[in-house]
Amino acid sequence: MRLGVPPDAALRPGAQLLYGDWRDIGLGPELVTMPARALDGSFGRWLAAYPQAEALPAALVLRDRLGSRAILLRALAAADQRGPLLRFDDDLRASGRFVPIAWVVDARLVSPRLRGWREDALGDVDYAAVRSLASSRRP
């Protein structure tokens, strides 16, 4: 499998982490600097423009033409978006055209001795209530 990695230096560490994990379990992808021909997939960065549940699906459909436009429009028109957004996610997952990996990478980069950190809808990590298991001080 040939995976394209953009020349963006910020994406390289994540691609290398995933490559190492995949290699450890017996998968053998080849990382190729983009642009390249005959790629089976690529790494990229998709950001939500605002902190709402529909922001990233809207960017995927309207900007990148990934995912079902009809399901997205039903979600945007719904008073309760949870069900339609779950259907959008299931549909996108079944297609295999977009695989979100950011939360997996973020969780691996945070020490397992830290408790209480969280990530908001835009992917920004909040360390305000972090507690270290190695610390002698109590929160």
Question: Which residues, given as ranges, of the chain have pLDDT below 70?
Answer: 101-114, 120-125, 127, 133-139
Token pair recorded at residue 132: 């270290």
User: Cis link prior to 35 (omega < 30° from 0)?
Assistant: yes
d(CA 64, CA 53): 17
Tell me the whole-structure pTM to 2 decimals: 0.59
What residues does each domain of the chain span? 1-45, 48-99
What's the 3-state SS for the chain?
Answer: CEEEECCCCCCHHHHHHHHHHHHHCCCCCEEEECCCCCCCEECCCCCCCCCCCCHHHHHHHHCCCCCCHHHHHHHHHCCCCHHHHHHHHHHHHHHCCCCCCHHHHHHHHCCCCEECCEECCCCCEECCCCEECCCCCCC
